[in-house]
Amino acid sequence: MASRRGRALELIGCESPLVRDPLSPEQAGSAAALFKALSDPVRLRLLSLIASHQGGEACVCELTGFFDVTEPTISHHLRALREAGLVTSQRRASWVYYRVAADRLAGLSALLDATGATPVGARS
């Protein structure tokens, strides 16, 4: 018995075979959480700033001057990035240092590459 998708495609005379496995519901949920964390411009800039620092690590004190928001707001955004697993943090004396979670970003990059997505800002 044909699947509902297969039967629907037969009825309209359109069927192209899958060339790779689509995302599972779990993978889609995990990716959506990452995209949600990155969907805020301040968070995206914070991640970029951290990654731009030597060694991919920056102190929170080095990040606040780039934004026209309060330090508690920056801390809120950094916490969202940390909870999404996009950055890690380490307290050193009275400062907190943030580092990009390269493995998480690599996974997100692979997901985008595997789906044939065009990088943001790229023209076709």
For residue 7, how far is the Cα from the chain centroid?
Answer: 36
The domains of the chain, with CATH numbers, are 27-114 (1.10.10.10)
pLDDT of residue 122: 47
pLDDT of residue 111: 79
Taking 80 as the threshold, does the pLDDT of residue 36 lie above it? yes
- The tens digit of pLDDT for each residue in 38-73 reads 999 999 999 999 999 998 899 988 998 999 999 899
Question: Is this model's pTM higher than 0.75 or not?
Answer: no
Is 90 buried (19+), middle (13-18) or exposed (0-12) by CB count in 10 A?
Answer: exposed
Mean local confidence (pLDDT), 85-96: 94
Taking 60 as the threshold, does the pLDDT of residue 1 lie above it? no
Which residue has better confidence, 96 or 108? Answer: 96
